[in-house]
């Protein structure tokens, strides 16, 4: 088994005071979650029932793959709002629940990357990039690099070139980690058509979906408008709704800030594919905790309000980061401005690699995610890049500390 790419990061940045590493929206507290439920404008007793259930529930097993209620909530809240008019609504039977997204990704790879060639785009999160490696009978994986010159987008021509006769599994990550950039509907349609021609299963890591930055900033202004849970001009359809052999992977941690709930899921319209996933899941972590299920249902019941609140923080922090990179310290940093999620892949223009930059920041108590966290072998074109997270309310303090670090060291960086 390969060493985790983030292992070095966890060691070097352990205990740092200022974090720019985290990639999730502002974490929920339990009292805050309860308050969101109480404030819901709903005459039904559903929300009161959830509160009562949380206070008084049995510590019993939940069904393998998630309870009927949670799976139906996921289908209704996340997927039935973006389906085509001619599509049947998603039901609980289209959803499979896991203790987080990593287990879900591994399960999908074990189910569909066996005895075939796979394709994945890099850089990316290790659990996504290397998920085919979990299928020990995999016939190899081709990694296609994304490029900042192409705005970190998937290149459909390179996808065509990477195809082999036995290619049957493609892993996507949209919105993309670490860049925070999402593909267009037109590009998504191109990728799907290529895969449809070759009868390929697409597993799409969509953990940053629902955090799109709808905006009007083509002139560089800082106007970034809130996105709701149901509408966004930047949002593309979930892969499960866009493609008959598409699988969507999502977690509670990123958009809603439900990191400690440890709930993730896979969604697919093809019932035979769902059954294959069920069969594989049986031999892994088959069910989540009862309390996590209840908290997950509470989050979904207040989804719109939670997302609006989290986007307020993301919108504010992105504006600060944009001014930091594009105005105040444009001499030392550049980026492809993100349009989704709470992350950005930033290029350091000084004399250090991102590894060296990260080492020096760690000494100053500041945590970032250097390039080595997103690739097994770091290609030269991303040596200077590091990921910044801007989803938390404490992020401005960390950015201020980074600014102080730059002020202290920039004279030694040269012209």
DSSP H stretches of helix in 198-330 = 239-242, 253-256, 271-281, 290-301, 303-323
Q: What is the pLDDT of residue 130?
A: 87
pLDDT of 225 strictly over 70? no
Within a domain: 415:
no
Number of separate domains in the chain: 2
Say how far apart CA 318 and CA 346 lie, in whole Å.
Answer: 13
Say yes or no: 216 and 334 in one domain.
no
Domain with residue 279: its CATH number is: 3.40.640.10
Summarised one tens digit per residue, pLDDT across range 134-164 is 777 678 999 999 999 999 999 999 999 999 9
pLDDT of 233 strictly over 90? no
Quickly state the pLDDT bin for 311 (edges 50, 70, 90). Answer: very high
Say how far apart CA 135 and CA 114 lie, in whole Å.
Answer: 5
Domain final residue pick, 268, 301, 334: 301
Q: What is the pLDDT of residue 175?
A: 98
Provide the 3-class DSSP secondary structure of residue 115. coil
Q: How far is CA 47 from the centre of its chain?
A: 28
Q: How far is CA 280 from the centre of its chain?
A: 23
Running DSSP on this structure, what letter comes out for residue 76? I
Q: What is the pLDDT of residue 377?
A: 83
Say yes or no: 203 and 324 in one domain.
no
Domain span at 396: 7-28+306-408
Say yes or no: 50 and 17 in one domain.
no
Say yes or no: 98 and 14 in one domain.
no
pLDDT of 123 strictly over 50? yes
Q: What is the pLDDT of residue 218?
A: 33
Within a domain: 37:
no
Say yes or no: 155 and 256 in one domain.
yes
Can you read off the two tokens belonging to residue 40?
């819901």
Say yes or no: 244 and 122 in one domain.
yes
Say yes or no: 208 and 258 in one domain.
yes
Within a domain: 101:
yes
Domain with residue 346: its CATH number is: 3.90.1150.10
> What is the reported pTM?
0.93
- 195 phi and psi angles, rounded to 5 deg: -70, -35
Up-side HSE of residue 100: CA atoms within 13 Å toward CB? 11
Within a domain: 225:
yes
Within a domain: 413:
no
User: What is the arithmetic mean of pLDDT over 118-142?
Assistant: 87
């Amino acid at each position: 088994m390969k060493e985790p790419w983030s292992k070095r990061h966890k060691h070097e940045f352990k205990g740092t005071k200022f974090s720019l590493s985290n990639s999730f929206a502002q974490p929920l507290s339990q009292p805050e979650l309860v308050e969101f439920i109480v404030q819901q404008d709903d005459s039904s007793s559903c929300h009161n029932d959830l509160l009562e259930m949380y206070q008084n529930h049995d510590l019993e097993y939940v069904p393998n793959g998630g309870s009927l209620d949670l799976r139906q909530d996921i289908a209704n809240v996340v997927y039935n709002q973006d389906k085509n008019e001619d599509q049947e609504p998603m039901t609980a039977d289209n959803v499979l629940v896991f203790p987080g997204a990593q287990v879900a990704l591994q399960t999908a790879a074990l189910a569909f990357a066996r005895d075939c060639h796979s394709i994945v785009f890099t850089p990316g999160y290790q659990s996504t990039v290397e998920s085919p490696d979990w299928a020990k009978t995999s016939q190899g994986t081709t990694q296609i690099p994304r490029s900042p010159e192409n705005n970190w987008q998937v290149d459909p021509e390179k996808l065509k070139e990477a195809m082999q006769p036995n290619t049957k599994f493609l892993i996507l990550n949209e919105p993309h980690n670490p860049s925070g950039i999402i593909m267009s509907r037109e590009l998504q349609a191109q990728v799907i058509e290529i895969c449809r021609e070759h009868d390929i299963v697409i597993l799409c890591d969509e953990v940053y979906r629902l955090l799109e930055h709808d905006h009007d900033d083509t002139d560089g202004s800082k106007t970034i408008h809130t996105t709701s849970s149901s509408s966004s001009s930047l949002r593309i359809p979930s892969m499960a709704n866009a493609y008959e052999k598409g699988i969507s992977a999502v977690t509670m941690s990123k958009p809603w800030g439900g990191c400690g709930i440890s709930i993730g899921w896979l969604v697919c319209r093809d019932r035979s594919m769902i059954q294959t996933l069920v069969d594989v899941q049986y031999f892994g972590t088959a069910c989540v905790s009862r309390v996590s299920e209840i908290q997950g249902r509470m989050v979904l019941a207040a989804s719109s309000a939670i997302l609006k609140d989290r986007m307020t923080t993301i919108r504010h922090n992105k504006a600060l980061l944009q001014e930091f990179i594009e105005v105040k310290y444009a001499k030392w940093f550049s980026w492809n401005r993100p349009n989704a999620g709470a992350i950005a892949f930033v290029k350091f223009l000084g004399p250090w690699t991102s590894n060296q930059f990260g080492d020096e920041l760690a000494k100053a108590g500041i945590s970032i995610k250097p390039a080595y966290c997103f690739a097994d072998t770091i290609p030269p074109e991303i040596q200077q890049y590091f990921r910044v997270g801007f989803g938390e309310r404490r992020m401005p303090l960390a950015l201020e500390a980074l600014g102080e670090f730059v002020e202290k060291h920039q004279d030694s960086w040269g012209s």
